[in-house]
Amino acid sequence: MPYHAPVPDYRFILEHVVGFDRLRATERFAESTADVTDAILEEAARLANEVLAPLQRAGDQHPAVLENGVVRTTPGFAEAYRAIAAGGWVGMSAGPAHGGMDLPQSLTTAVNEMMSGACLAIQIAPLMTQGQIEALEHHASDEIKALYLPKLITGEWCGTMNLTEPQAGSDVGALRTRAEPKGDGTYAITGQKIYISWGDNDFTENVCHLVLARLPDGPPGTKGISLFMVPKRIPDADGTPGPANSLRVVSLEHKMGLHGSPTAVMEYDGATGWLVGAPHKGMAAMFTMMNNARLGVGVQGIGVAEAACQHALAYARDRRQGPSPLEDGTGTILDHADVRRMLAEMKAQTFAARAIAFDNAVAIDMAHATGDAAWQARAAFLTPISKAYGTETGIDVASTGVQVHGGMGYIEETGAAQYLRDVRVTAIYEGTNGIQAMDLVGRKLSDGGAAAFALLAEIGQTAARAEEELPDLAAFLASAEATLTATTSWLLEQGEINDRFAGAVPYLRAFALVLGGHYHLRAALAEGGQGPRTALARLFIRRMLPAHDALCAAVREGAAGLYALSDEDLVA
């Protein structure tokens, strides 16, 4: 389906909204000039528009299949993946020691978004590998780094993440996969893992599985979990894939969407693995990969939102239905106020989610470049918001896109429904959005709210800057910031963590909306207070931001009301 990467929007947000210029002031990213950034974005856009987007429907209509133990991928996917690898896009933010380009995560975020919008099913493969690269860079031995990282960075090999088991979903500590020492520095890995994205393919030399398992002396729960590298084919010292390891794809899941992306049930039967990191410290290593993936998954949702916006707008500009309410209208449904509302809100929400993700990425880059704990705290606080709001935006916008199409949206031939089916899982994997929200009000507020209040103070400063030029929008944002600040203080005062958890989801969404108003207002100021970005900011701040007030009220209700109905009452 037609897709055009929104490069002008990426450029505007990076330069005028989230402060990408600060990266150029650091020694590490001094070479990320405007010319370099533009060249990267334009080249990635060509890949997304011309190579990946034509495969969007093919992945849905000709899904990956398992034949005689071999995964056969969608026609065209192999060539597309090789194009991604050949362009250096897999390892663009990896360190230079093993062949990476060491580019800012901010640019990788933009590239990942445009690839997700073009064809999410194929984009998942390089995203998983990027997360594995980061985990190995931080936790693996020098020997494992030297053997695996060059191949992963070039895309010759790809990586996966193996956490979930039939009885161990969010409760990872309940896993049963075992790791037995073999006496030669390797381990025999035995167990079954489910929901493994791109668990196998027919276009890379090797598939490298990072597998959570428990050593014989591992204590119960997450404190006893270790992480292992378990390759599909065991490489020799030169990195040449050798004999097949003792693992296999049992089956591929029959999914609601993302049919082109094989989601595997994996079985390990004494497979040879190598320890990554220290014994019993696997969760720390895996969370390095997961935090990378959480931002990446949020960006997947934003990419699909952008594609759904474009798809719906194209339909609305062509569809004629009923008399136009405008004297000089086009005669299409785009003239109708409710259709115009849906499309405008889709665009405004997508902008807000994109700006949150880019701000998150810039914070990650600044933390890497400076080592400043404040940047690290900002990045950590924004990560669950990026993941949850980004994916909810994908779902909301894709669903509204179906509505714009009317009855035709429910017909598969138009392709509108595929965006909704494909993006729906993003709110579930890499930690459900409820877990992201609980992390936000739990671990991320454990600093006494320092990171939250720093962001809120910045939002207040934006409102103050806009008082003369855009007073009505400034007042709306200032009021929202005050309400959210008071709600944050209320959460910190609660002695029962369950009272925080009960309001976690509305709190995260309220924070995202207020952040969205902040970025929209900054965009309007950068534009001079007049123009399309100002009009979009006015729509978001005056029409969509007010929902934060009801959300904050729900946060302050605590947990008691959730338990007023018994289990039997819920059934009845």
Task: Give the tens place of pLDDT for each residue, 333-382.
Answer: 999 999 999 999 999 999 999 999 999 999 999 999 999 999 999 999 99
Domain assignment of residue 400, yes or no: no
Domain assignment of residue 329, yes or no: no
User: Which residues lie closer than 8 Å to 127 by C-beta, 6 or more apart?
Assistant: 112, 293, 296, 297, 300
Is residue 29 scored above 80 in pLDDT? yes
| Options 430, 467, 481, 527, the catalytic residue | 430
Domain assignment of residue 455, yes or no: yes
Domain assignment of residue 391, yes or no: no
Pair 120, 184 in one domain = no
Q: What's the pLDDT score for residue 286?
A: 79
Q: What's the pLDDT score for residue 240?
A: 95
- How deeply is 124 buried, as exposed, middle or buried, from its count of CB atoms within 10 A (0-12, 13-18, 19+)? buried
Q: Which of 117, 142, 167 is the last residue of a domain?
A: 142
Specify the amino acid at residue 286. M
Share of the chain above pLDDT 90, in %: 92
Pair 30, 107 in one domain = yes
Domain assignment of residue 373, yes or no: no
Pair 131, 218 in one domain = no
Compute the Cα dihedral for 113, 115, 118, 120 and give only its sign: negative
Q: What is the spatial distance between Cα 363 and Cα 94, in angstroms, rounded to a whole number? A: 17
Q: What is the spatial distance between Cα 311 and Cα 289, in angstroms, rounded to a whole number? A: 33
Domain assignment of residue 107, yes or no: yes
Pair 162, 138 in one domain = no
Number of domains in the chain: 3
Is residue 288 scored above 90 in pLDDT? no
| Choice between 171 and 365, residue whose per-residue pLDDT is larger | 365
User: Which residues lie closer than 8 Å to 541 by C-beta, 6 or more apart?
Assistant: 473, 476, 477, 517, 520, 521
Is residue 572 scored above 90 in pLDDT? no
Q: Tell me the pLDDT tens digit for each residue of 62-74.
A: 999 999 999 999 9
Q: Which of 110, 142, 174 is the last residue of a domain?
A: 142
Q: What is the spatial distance between Cα 308 and Cα 364, in angstroms, rounded to a whole number? A: 28
Please state the pTM of the whole predicted model: 0.96
Pair 220, 258 in one domain = yes
Is residue 300 scored above 70 in pLDDT? yes
Cβ-contact 207, 157 below 8 angstroms: yes
Q: What's the pLDDT score for residue 169?
A: 80
Q: Tell me the pLDDT tens digit for each residue of 186-224.
A: 999 999 999 999 999 999 999 999 999 999 999 998 889
Confidence class for position 290, pLDDT limits 50, 70, 90: confident
Domain assignment of residue 262, yes or no: yes
Q: Which of 142, 173, 193 is the last residue of a domain?
A: 142
Is residue 488 scored above 80 in pLDDT? yes
Cβ-contact 184, 263 below 8 angstroms: no
Pair 463, 556 in one domain = yes
430 annotated active-site: yes
User: Which residues lie closer than 8 Å to 81 by C-beta, 6 or more apart?
Assistant: 122, 125, 126, 155, 201, 203, 204
Q: What's the pLDDT score for residue 303?
A: 98
Domain residues for the domain of 235 are: 158-281
Pair 13, 134 in one domain = yes
Q: What's the pLDDT score for residue 269?
A: 97
Pair 175, 77 in one domain = no
Q: What's the pLDDT score for residue 1?
A: 67
Q: What is the spatial distance between Cα 545 and Cα 492, in angstroms, rounded to a whole number? A: 23
Is residue 292 scored above 80 in pLDDT? no
Average pLDDT across the chain, whole number? 96
In order of 58, 88, 430, the CA distances from 81 in angstroms are 14, 11, 22
